[in-house]
A = this chain, B = another copy of it.
Amino acid sequence: MLVVMQEGAPETQVQQVIDRLVMMGFTVHRSTGVTHTVLGGVGPLETFDTAEFEVLEGVQECHRIVSPYKLANKRFRPQGTVISIGDVKIGGSEVVVMAGPCSVENEEQIELSAALVARAGAKVIRGGAFKPRSSPYSFQGLGEEGLRMLRAAADRHGLLVVSEVMDRSQIPLLVQYSDILQVGARNMQNFNLLRDLGLARKPVLLKRGIAATIEEVLLSAEYIMSGGNYEVILCERGIRTFETATRNTMDISAIPVLQQLTHLPVIADPSHGVGKRGLVPAMARAAVAAGADGLLIEVHPDPDHALSDGAQSLFPEQFMELMGQLRLIAAAVGRSVAE
């Protein structure tokens, strides 16, 4: 950590800061410049709030210089992490498409969904069994019965399953039915949930919260990894900004930024990023062009009658067409999408 003292800060104030640093376990290195005294502290993991130093008398500002996450840090595994599930590899040269309806609604819907996404080249089927809805009066999902349907349909079509875990108590159930455990944007900082997922033996797909900085996403990944589960997939899905033309603003630049900072695979969810199907193909293409390792896309056999998120679900034919475009774009960046 670096603590910059104010111009002309008296020696007593400098000493107070040094004492505080030492008390917190830092080895302090002092550098007296022409205008400012700068204290460099080498210590334990830098997880404290820098404001604790900034409010000390005589302190101008404070900067953390050691990253507050270590397991998620690129330096921890510079070659990158490839997560293998069966013969699907996430984070490798193939761009992995995960697709399906927002919610599992019934046997027929999920069977039709599985058939279509498998035919199009997706490797993973998505579908929610527990739906976090912002109104208490909306459809809340089929629960375990939905998970069972999803698993069966996936198995019939050789697909993996990704489904959301909303609460710590649901982990055992999800582990039983799903290959990848999804953490929704609203739970990105549900630290109890993250800690428990650190003990799970399944890969976790961690969605960025709509107000989460990139550093906070990595700290949440660190929570999971610090429990021993290193298979974390990060997912950009739009942040909240002043623009109201789209539901959220998809931060496509988060993809290359994350790839500089971490070894974990990074995918994108254009469906939630924009909220309207007419914009989903353009954003899916953009994500792959920017280097995404995968996509999470909502597609429904009959979006007009979907029980949730119908407006952002692609029609089957739109999805097929998009997959063709994605193959060309993946090739342009030296990657591939399965046929």
Residues on the B chain within 8 Å of A331, using CB? 328, 332
Within the complex, which residue of B134, B136, B256, B311 is in contact with A226, where a contact is CB–CB below 8 Å?
Answer: B136
Q: In the complex the two chains form, is A333's CB within 8 Å of B138's CB?
A: no
Q: How near does chain B come to A236, taking the closest CB pair, in angstroms?
A: 11
A250 with B253: in contact, given A49-B311, A134-B189, A289-B288 (CB under 8 Å)? yes
Taking CB atoms and an 8 Å cut-off, the chain A residues in 215-233 that contact chain B are: 215-216, 219-220, 222-223, 226
Q: In the complex the two chains form, is A256's CB within 8 Å of B279's CB?
A: yes
Question: How many of A's residues come within 8 Å of B, CB to CB?
Answer: 108
Q: In the complex the two chains form, is A241's CB within 8 Å of B244's CB?
A: no
Q: How near does chain B come to A305, taking the closest CB pair, in angstroms?
A: 9
A133 with B273: in contact, given A252-B250, A285-B290, A332-B329 (CB under 8 Å)? no
A203 within 8 A of B: no
Q: In the complex the two chains form, is A273's CB within 8 Å of B253's CB?
A: yes
Q: How near does chain B come to A2, taking the closest CB pair, in angstroms?
A: 6
Which of A82-90, A93-101, A154-162, A190-198 forms part of the interface with chain B? Answer: A190-198
A283 within 8 A of B: yes
Taking CB atoms and an 8 Å cut-off, the chain A residues in 274-294 that contact chain B are: 274-279, 282-283, 285-291
Expressed in whole angstroms, the Cα–Cα distance for A329 and B223 within the complex equals 38
Q: How near does chain B come to A120, taking the closest CB pair, in angstroms?
A: 17
Q: How near does chain B come to A221, taking the closest CB pair, in angstroms?
A: 10
Which residue of A214, A243, A246, A277 has the most chain B CB atoms within 10 A of its CB atom? A243
Residues on the B chain within 8 Å of A256, using CB? 278-279, 282-283
Q: In the complex the two chains form, is A283's CB within 8 Å of B276's CB?
A: no
Residues on the B chain within 8 Å of A275, using CB? 51
Expressed in whole angstroms, the Cα–Cα distance for A137 and B38 within the complex equals 26
Q: In the complex the two chains form, is A211's CB within 8 Å of B209's CB?
A: yes
A51 with B276: in contact, given A249-B251, A282-B253, A329-B332 (CB under 8 Å)? yes
Within the complex, which residue of B215, B249, B276, B328 is in contact with A241, where a contact is CB–CB below 8 Å?
Answer: B249
Residues on the B chain within 8 Å of A148, using CB? none
Which of A57-65, A109-117, A172-180 forms part of the interface with chain B? Answer: A57-65
Interface string of A298-310 (1 = CB under 8 A from B): 0000001000011
Expressed in whole angstroms, the Cα–Cα distance for A222 and B136 within the complex equals 7
Residues on the B chain within 8 Å of A253, using CB? 245-246, 249-250, 273-274, 279, 282-283
Residues on the B chain within 8 Å of A333, using CB? 285, 325
20 A/B residue pairs, CB under 8 Å, sorted by A = A2-B38, A33-B40, A35-B42, A36-B40, A47-B137, A51-B247, A56-B304, A61-B65, A136-B195, A190-B190, A211-B242, A214-B245, A241-B242, A241-B249, A243-B254, A245-B253, A249-B249, A252-B252, A255-B282, A286-B286
Query: A31-B40, A61-B63 are known contacts; what are 20 more A-B pairs with Cβ within 8 Å?
Result: A33-B42, A34-B42, A35-B66, A51-B275, A52-B311, A55-B276, A68-B135, A135-B219, A167-B168, A167-B192, A209-B211, A211-B240, A213-B244, A214-B243, A214-B245, A244-B244, A245-B254, A252-B282, A289-B289, A329-B329
